[in-house]
Amino acid sequence: MQPFGQVPAYQEGDLTLFESRAITDHIAQKFASKGTPLTTGEPEMKVWLQVEVNHFEPASSQLGWEQVFKPMFGMTTDPAAVEANEAKLSKVLDVYETRLSKSKYLGGDQFTLVDLHHLPNIQVLNGTPTKKLFDSRPKLSAWIADVTARPAWSKVLAMQKQ
C-alpha cells in the first residue's frame, strides 16, 4: 500500500493513498460538510501548508528523533544535532510568532489542516527540553495551548494510550 514501506497508508474502496498530508486533505475535502471545516482552499493556507512541510517538520522531527525516539530504541542522543536543529527551529518559530500576532491560526483566522499537521511533533517536543523554544514565545504558546486543547486531539491522545 505504501511504496516506501512506511505508515500511514489509507484505503477507501478502490482508492489507496499515502503521504499523510495528502490523506488529510482528501478526508477534509470529502467530509467538508461534517464537523469543523479543515481546509479553506485559500492561497494563504496553501502557503502555510508548505511552511509546515519545508520548515517546521524537518527540524522538529529531527529533534523528536534525537531526544525521544533514539533513547526509546536504546540509541544515544547527539547533543550537536539537538543544538543545530534547535537553532533551525528557533528561526522557524520566530516567523510563527510574527504570523500569530497577525492571524489567530497559522493558515488564517480559522483552525485548519495547517495547524493540525503541527500537532504530532509539538506533542513529542512538549516532553523534551526543546519545549523552552515554545514557552519563550507568547503568541506561539497561546496557539499551542489552543490547538492542543481541542477535543479531537484529546481523543487522539486517548487512543494512543489504548
Ligand X SMILES: N[C@@H](CCC(=O)N[C@@H](CS)C(=O)NCC(=O)O)C(=O)O
Q: Which is nearer to ligand X, 124 or 144 (CB)?
A: 124
Q: Which is nearer to ligand X, 5 or 13 (CB)?
A: 5
The least CB distance from residue 101 to ligand X, in Å, is 29
DSSP state of 10: E
Please answer whether residues 54 and 95 qualify as being in contact, where contact means their C-beta atoms are separated by less than 8 angstroms: no
The least CB distance from residue 146 to ligand X, in Å, is 24
What is the sign, positive or negative, of the torsion defined by CA atoms of 126, 128, 133, 135? positive
Question: Which residues, listed in sequence order, are joined to residue 15 by a DSSP beta bridge?
Answer: 12
The least CB distance from residue 139 to ligand X, in Å, is 27
C-alpha cell at 6: 512506511
Please answer whether residues 111 and 36 qualify as being in contact, where contact means their C-beta atoms are separated by less than 8 angstroms: yes
The binding site for ligand X (CB under 6 A) comprises: 5-8, 19-21
Q: Which is nearer to ligand X, 6 or 36 (CB)?
A: 6
The least CB distance from residue 4 to ligand X, in Å, is 7
Residue 92: its H or E element: helix 79-99
Q: Which is nearer to ligand X, 118 or 137 (CB)?
A: 118
In the complex, residue closest to ligand X by CB: 6
- Grid coordinates 520548515 are at which residue? 55
